[in-house]
Amino acid sequence: MALSQNDVLRALELVKLPASGQSLAASGRVGDILIDGGKVIFAIGIDATEANAMEPVRKAAESAVGGIPGVTQVLVGLTADKAPGRPPSQAAEARRQAHGQPGPGGPVPKAAGIPGVKQIIAVASGKGGVGKSTTTANLAVGLATLGLKVGVLDADIYGPSVPKIFGITGKPRLVSGRTLAPMEAYGLKIMSIGFLIDEETPMIWRGPMVISAITQMLREVAWGDLDVLVVDMPPGTGDAQLTMAQQTPLAGAVIVSTPQDLALLDARRGVAMFKKVEVPILGIVENMSYFICPECGHRSDIFAHGGARHEAERLHVPFLGEIPLAMPIRETSDGGRPIVASDPDSPHAKAYVALARQVKAGLSGPARAAPRIVIE
């Protein structure tokens, strides 16, 4: 007989919430349940502060549903998509009302820091394809050339491309219990959500997986001592991105945009998203800003360059610089050899190092005047 949502909810009656002892099924926290043959997928709504406490509940839910005859695979994620003010899914809301439970809400506190990691920054873009991952990789190598210990966390659930940009193959190994060793390339420690999420995982499921995956990548990876961890965020400004911005103890965010109007509009949304969760904006960088002909050296502003600088001024956030549209950037990035590492003397690499310098300065705060020494 085909599996039904009621079969799943019956199994979830046996899973209890730690604080109240209430059943998960009755809590109103179970989102829409997707059933595809023997595969069952759903998310448990949590407050952003509960990620660690609710992990055992997630596991218990997976094993309870896994025990239903006919179930071949279960995927359960924790999601804080229901940020204050956002409505829960219709199904979850109906169950909540039926059981007379209070809805989610309240302020979202800041996520706890990661021992050994001094600062975490996000590289984000309002839309895909603007060169966010290429910028992340070259910025990270650039920060390392400035003498910092740097890690890269690829959190782009929709298209994790950091392993490819760094030419990494294979999977991270377990060092102890659930802790993974990060991969290493060009002196950086690297972890990608691509190592944790199966390529076949449906897109609809990736958003709900965000909290567990980001928590695991932040806290169950042996990062060691890092000055900066650079996070390649998923493009866009939807629920998944907002949740991630809330769940990650970010010191600041770099927004990547191309100069076109539409990309700039999206960049503006990105700035607004980080402001909403009180993450400081380190600035906007304009990628594919201008083109220098490799044959004749002529410069063309193909996308009416300068838009990001104006947008940054308009939004009162720093402008971090311009990266040209250049074949060597694409070739090295797509070939697993970021240009700052593979051709550090090129003008393109220098543009990224200048960006890294700006970001580093932004992280150490506005320059303070040296104290005046008075000799009496």
Ligand X SMILES: Nc1ncnc2c1ncn2[C@@H]1O[C@H](COP(=O)(O)OP(=O)(O)OP(=O)(O)O)[C@@H](O)[C@H]1O
CB of 235 to ligand X, least distance (A): 4
Identify whether the C-beta of residue 120 lies closer than 8 Å to the C-beta of residue 228.
yes
361 burial level (CB within 10 Å; 0-12, 13-18, 19+): middle
Cβ-closest position to ligand X: 128
Q: How many CA atoms lie within 13 A of 314 on its CB side?
A: 12
151 is in an annotated binding site: no
What tokens were used for 108?
């979202």
* Per-residue interface string for the shown chain with ligand X, residues 285-324, x marking contact by CB under 6 A: --xx----------------------------------x-
Q: Is 71 annotated as a binding residue?
A: no
With binding defined as CB under 6 A, does residue 109 bind ligand X? no
* Residue window 47-86: x/- pattern of binding to ligand X, with contact defined by CB under 6 A: ----------------------------------------
Q: Nearer to ligand X by C-beta: 286 or 311? A: 286
Partner residues linked to 253 by β-bridges: 122, 281
Only one of the segments 36-44, 124-132, 203-211, 219-227 lies at the binding site for ligand X (rule: CB under 6 A); that segment is 124-132
With CB under 6 A as the contact rule, which of the stretches 26-34, 130-138, 187-195, 238-246 interacts with ligand X? 130-138
116 annotated among ligand-binding-site residues: no
| Token pair recorded at residue 226 | 């890092």
171 annotated ligand-binding residue = no
Residue 84 CB neighbour total at 10 angstroms: 11
Minimum Å distance from CB 259 to ligand X? 12
DSSP track, 67-115: TSTT--EEEEEEE--S-TTPPPPHHHHHHHHHTTPPPP-S--PPPP--T
Residue with tokens 């190598």: 141
Any known ligand binding at 131?
A: yes
Strands 319-325 and 117-124: unpaired
- In terms of CB distance, is 216 or 333 closer to ligand X? 333
What is the closest distance, in whole angstroms, from the C-beta atom of residue 205 to ligand X in the complex?
Answer: 18
Please state the closest distance from residue 41 (CB atom) to ligand X, in A. Answer: 24
R_g of the chain computed on alpha carbons: 23
188: exposed, middle or buried (Cβ count in 10 Å: 0-12, 13-18, 19+)? buried
Given the complex with ligand X, which of 42 and 303 has the nearer CB atom?
303
Q: Could you say which residues in the range 182-241 bind ligand X, by CB under 6 A?
A: 235
Contact at 8 Å (CB) between 44 and 76? yes
Binder of ligand X out of 132, 149, 206, 337 (CB under 6 A): 132
Instruction: Provide CB contacts within 8 A for 144, sequence distance 6+.
Output: 150, 186, 187, 188
The residue range among 127-135, 168-176, 201-209, 220-228 that interacts with ligand X, by the rule CB under 6 A, is 127-135
**Interface with ligand X (CB under 6 A), residue from 37, 56, 70, 129:** 129
Q: Tell me whether residue 128 is annotated as binding.
A: yes
Contact 38, 7 (CB under 8 A): no
Q: How far is the CB of 156 from ligand X (least distance, A)?
A: 5
The reply, when asked if residue 110 is annotated as ligand binding, is: no
Stretch that binds ligand X, among 112-120, 156-164, 176-184, 188-196 (CB under 6 A): 156-164
Tell me how far apart the alpha carbons of residues 324 and 322 are, in angstroms, rounded to a whole number: 6
Q: Report, in Å, the least distance between residue 337 CB and ligand X.
A: 11
d(CA 56, CA 178): 14
**Cβ at position 279, least distance to ligand X in Å:** 19
User: Among residue numbers 158 through 177, which ones bind ligand X (CB under 6 A)?
Assistant: 159, 161
Task: Round to whole Å and give the CA distance between 364 and 344.
Answer: 25
One symbol per residue from 326 to 345: x for binding ligand X (CB under 6 A), - otherwise; what is it? x--xx--xx-----------
126 is in an annotated binding site: yes
Nearer to ligand X, 235 or 318 (CB): 235
| Residue-wise DSSP of 304-344 | -TTHHHHHHHHHT--EEEEEEE-HHHHHHHHTT--HHHH-T
Binding-site residues sit at 126-133
Chain positions contacting ligand X, by CB under 6 A = 125, 128-134, 156, 159, 161, 235, 287-288, 323, 325-326, 329-330, 333-334
